A and B are shown apart, each in its own frame.
Chain A
């Protein structure tokens, strides 16, 4: 199993550009989520999905869109990048949405917005 994969590993954008961060998992997990990691702030939840066709907002959703058309994929879209979105982005998945389920994390995407 590849686990949780993310592409690209690194990306530099100019303010106003759009892009999609890809995330895929091959563990048949129902629950998937996106976090951003900023220095001194830990990880903060952006959006999550409890199954195909179902998404919802997390703690810091502004400026990001998601969709979940399949169980495996959960892309994160930045429609108009801003310097405040410079961060490291992690995708995670777990078997279910229950609080005790271990989340498996991808290797991250380091995004810089100039």
Chain B
């Protein structure tokens, strides 16, 4: 089965600063990678996903992530964060053939300070 490790449980950052949320995965099969965001008291929303092709993936709200197969990483970045980006971010991995075994990381709580 796949597994995901999010290296930081909490990331505090000041508004307009850049941010990187780190994610490493392991799998014995071909995988797809996802970043989801959860705003307070809401369900998860898809930020971006990597299926194939270009290793740099752009998502909503100015976020992007880079797939690095050799380092088995899928780090999420934003060059300038806003207060409204305060949320919990989840990295997830699924086997390329089905969603039935999607595994989520423990989450990273991003707090943007004024």
Residues of chain A having any CB pair with chain B under 8 Å = 4, 31, 33, 35, 40-45, 48, 50, 56, 58-59, 90, 92, 94, 97-103, 105-108
Total A-B Cβ pairs within 8 A: 73
A92–B44 alpha-carbon span in the complex (Å):
9
Which of B14-22, B45-53, B67-75 lies at the interface with chain A? Answer: B45-53
Closest to B45 in A: A105
Q: Which residues of A contact B101 (CB under 8 A)?
A: 45, 59
| A45 CA / B96 CA spacing, docked (Å) | 17
Say whether A99 contacts B43, CB under 8 Å.
Answer: no
Given contacts A43-B90, A90-B44, contact A102 B49 (CB under 8 A): yes
Chain B's interface size range is 20 to 34
Residues of B within 8 A of A97 (CB): 98-100
Interface contacts beyond A42-B103, A108-B43: sample of 13 additional A-B pairs, CB < 8 Å, sorted by A: A40-B106, A42-B4, A43-B104, A45-B102, A97-B98, A98-B97, A99-B98, A99-B99, A100-B32, A102-B49, A103-B46, A105-B36, A105-B43
Does B111 belong to the interface (CB within 8 Å)?
Answer: no
Q: Are B43 and A44 in contact, CB atoms less than 8 angstroms apart? A: no
User: Looking at B44, B46, B49, which has the most chain A CB atoms within 10 Å of its CB?
Assistant: B44
Q: Does A99 lie within 8 Å of B106, measured CB to CB?
A: no
20 CB contacts below 8 A, A to B, read A31-B99, A35-B104, A40-B9, A40-B106, A42-B105, A42-B107, A43-B44, A43-B104, A45-B102, A56-B100, A59-B101, A101-B99, A102-B49, A103-B46, A103-B99, A103-B102, A105-B36, A106-B43, A107-B41, A107-B43
Please give the distance in Å from B38's CB to the nearest CB on chain A.
8
The residue in A33, A44, A48, A103 that gathers the most chain B C-beta atoms within 10 A of its C-beta is: A103
Chain B residues with CB under 8 A of A59: 101, 103
- CB interface residues, B 56-114, toward A, < 8 Å: 90, 92, 94-107
